[in-house]
Amino acid sequence: MNTKIEEIISKFDFGSPVIAYNQFGNGHINWTYRVETENGGLFVLQRINTYVFRDPVGLMRNIELLTNFMRKKEKDPRKVLELVPAKDGKTFIVTDDDEYWRVYVFVKDSVCYDQAETPELFKESGRAFGNFQNMLADFPVSELIETIPNFHNTPARYAAFEQAVSEDSAKRVSGVTVDIENYLSEKGFASFLLDKAAAGEIPLRVTHNDTKINNVLFDCKTNKALCVVDLDTTMPGFAAMDFGDCIRYAGNNAAEDEKDLDKVFVRMDLFRTFAEGFCGICGKNLSRAELILCPEAAKLITLETGLRFLMDYLQGDVYFHTAYPEHNLVRARTQFKLVRDMDVRMNEMRQIIISILDK
């Protein structure tokens, strides 16, 4: 019994009495519950992390606009997320202590994976994110707010990182000087995509910005991708970064927080199969100029994510959920190993993309 959760539940219209609720999922940011109703309905109740998302009202407006737009193109209810309105008609509720909560319909007979258990599954996730690009290709980008300003602005991330190093608020800098130097040695690469955009070579698009494979739902019987979830960071960005984050997370031979760095490298079979899935679906809607940058974008997002983990470690683990005290440092080291591995494989990755585009 949790009276707080029950009070929150009572503010939404589930269409039938709620008979159970349990915490579930393993996201790093929001708190999530699965809610079950008497007539067999399943829902996802989530508290929006307002430390991370400072404008939850603007965020919910983004999601309303995006899901309504996609639903006009896709009639299958399992293929676009659906918000459940609160009893007052809004798409979220605010508690007395200023917590923001929302509810989605649970996508029936769906399953989500934390790793690309088979190449085919990874290809399917490529199709899912490719399809997401396609559905939103004509969405008016300027309608969306930036739910986290400068989210994938890597130079801005470096500036924040350097400030965190100089403040040393958790007194952890002296123990990780090598890690800090490693990350600083890549600072020159941080503006790679922003420079291309400033030169007019690549456009701003609606991008998901958190394309981990566990943000894709699959049909539990066929393992075909159904839809993309976690739309909190969907905002203007570069398509190649969405591709890149998939490789960072699920193209890695090991987990995001693997301690044995010998196990951390990009699996080229997975890279190829993902690229075939993604480019096969949205290759015609995106330009060759942006797709060709996918390998560099994979390195850039890996560098940026690792930098964020290290910065959070230096600040005393205030942002990402952690399971043990060194967790963010472990994640940062894993990401850096992957960055170095991508340098070695950069040419090979580029050739794979070119061969797919030339087909």
Taking the CA atoms of 320, 326, 327 and 329 in sequence, report the sign of the dihedral they define.
positive
Enumerate residues 6+ apart whose C-beta is below 8 A from 217. 78, 107, 110, 111, 112, 225, 226, 227, 228, 229
Q: Is the CB of 106 or the CB of 292 nearer to ligand GN1? A: 106
In angstroms, rounded to a whole number, what is the distance separating the alpha carbons of residues 217 and 59? Answer: 21
Q: Which stretch binds Mg ion (CB under 5 A): 26-34, 95-103, 316-324, 329-337?
A: 26-34
- Total residues contacting Mg ion (rule CB under 5 A)? 3
In angstroms, rounded to a whole number, what is the distance separating the alpha carbons of residues 208 and 236? Answer: 9
CB neighbours (10 Å) of residue 257? 19
Rule CB under 6 A: choose which of 9, 18, 29, 332 binds ligand GN1. Answer: 29
In angstroms, rounded to a whole number, what is the distance separating the alpha carbons of residues 83 and 89? Answer: 11
At 181, the amino acid letter reads E
In the complex, least distance from residue 288 CB atom to ligand GN1, rounded to whole angstroms = 27
CB neighbours (10 Å) of residue 136? 21
In the complex, least distance from residue 208 CB atom to ligand GN1, rounded to whole angstroms = 10
- The residues in 99-128 that bind ligand GN1, with binding defined as CB under 6 A, are none
Rule CB under 6 A: choose which of 32, 41, 52, 137 binds ligand GN1. Answer: 52
299: contact with ligand GN1 by CB under 6 A: no
Taking the CA atoms of 281, 286, 292 and 295 in sequence, report the sign of the dihedral they define.
negative
Q: Is the CB of 228 or the CB of 275 nearer to Mg ion? A: 228
In angstroms, rounded to a whole number, what is the distance separating the alpha carbons of residues 285 and 274? Answer: 17
In the complex, least distance from residue 147 CB atom to ligand GN1, rounded to whole angstroms = 8
Rule CB under 5 A: choose which of 124, 179, 230, 290 binds Mg ion. Answer: 230
Chosen from Mg ion, ligand GN1, none, partner binding at 305 (C-beta under 5 to 8 Å by type): ligand GN1
Rule CB under 6 A: choose which of 179, 230, 326, 341 binds ligand GN1. Answer: 230
The four Cα atoms 15, 21, 24, 28 give a dihedral, to 10 degrees, of: 80
Q: Is the CB of 27 or the CB of 280 nearer to ligand GN1? A: 27
Q: Is the CB of 27 or the CB of 85 nearer to Mg ion? A: 27
In the complex, least distance from residue 27 CB atom to Mg ion, rounded to whole angstroms = 4
Rule CB under 5 A: choose which of 11, 25, 27, 41 binds Mg ion. Answer: 27
Enumerate residues 6+ apart whose C-beta is below 8 A from 122. 116, 213, 246, 250, 251, 270, 273, 274, 277
Residues in touch with Mg ion (CB under 5 A) = 27, 215, 230
Residues in touch with ligand GN1 (CB under 6 A) = 27-29, 52, 210, 212, 230, 233, 256, 305
